[in-house]
Structure 1
Amino acid sequence: MSNAGSRPGTPATAHRSKAAQSNDNGFFGALLPARFANALFAILLSGINTFVITGISIGWAFGLRAATTPSVAMSAWFHAYLNAWPVAFCLVLLFAPLVRRLVAKLTSTT
């Protein structure tokens, strides 16, 4: 492990200012203020879930025909995704606080 530019025995970030260290939020960095965390959570969770569920549903409905007509299957999946995602987004926004409270009651911090 190299500590290029720093004194021996100190972490590599020791030479950086506190402000620079607090703004280091990993690979993506802080793209949005924290007040948007719930909305971003809902967008990502609903988008991923809708993507997977509509893909499985369309794949199940088309079966082996999806291999012979991939453009039709992809078009059907895309339209199903566009219709289902706003519904999933609203449901996540509505139910996420309730689920978080329920999880907090059902789990222990010890």
Structure 2
Amino acid sequence: MVMKFPKRYRGILFALVMSCCTALLVSGVIIYLHAESITIFLHAWVKGFITAWPIVFIAILTIAPLVNRFLDRFFDDA
């Protein structure tokens, strides 16, 4: 059986998962493009991810509601 959370936690859980995926992807690509070796890449990627994840998490919590309100202007409720 799948564990279910109350809907009031959906926004925070979304931001947590989305920020993790975004920080992993973006930090990985940027560091890969500049790394000289696999060892340097892996060390820098972990360090970059640890730095980026909390920043992206806070950004998503802050920006997502603003973007949703902005986009609501262009869509019907139905």
Map Cα deviations across residues 6-64 of structure 1 (whole Å, 9 max, x no partner).
Answer: xxxxxxxxxxxxxxxxxxxxxx72432211101001001111111110011001112xx
Q: Structure 2 CA distance, aligned partners of 1:54 and 1:44?
A: 15
Query: 2 CA distance for matches of 1:103 and 1:30?
Result: 31
What RMSD in Å do the two structures reach over aligned CA positions?
Answer: 1.7
Unpaired segments ≥5 residues, structure 1: 1-27
Please say if 1:85 is aligned against 2:53.
Answer: yes
Matched, 1:40 2:13: yes
Q: How many residues are treated as equivalent by the alignment? A: 78
Task: Give the TM-score normalised by structure 1.
Answer: 0.64
Identity of aligned residues (%): 26
User: How far apart, CA to CA, are the structure 2 residues paired with 1:54 and 1:46?
Assistant: 11
Secondary structure of the structure 2 residue equivalent to 1:106:
coil
Point out where structure 2 has 5 or more consecutive residues left out of the alignment. none
Q: Counterparts of 2:77 and 2:60 in 1: how far apart (Å)? A: 25
**Amino acid of the structure 1 residue aligned with 2:43:** S
For the pair shown, which has the larger CA radius of gyration, 1 or 2?
1
Q: Quick check: which one's helix share is greater?
A: 2
With normalisation by structure 2, the TM-score equals 0.87
Which one scores higher on RCO, CA 8 angstroms, separation ≥ 6?
2
Correspondence for 1:102 among 50, 70, 78: 70
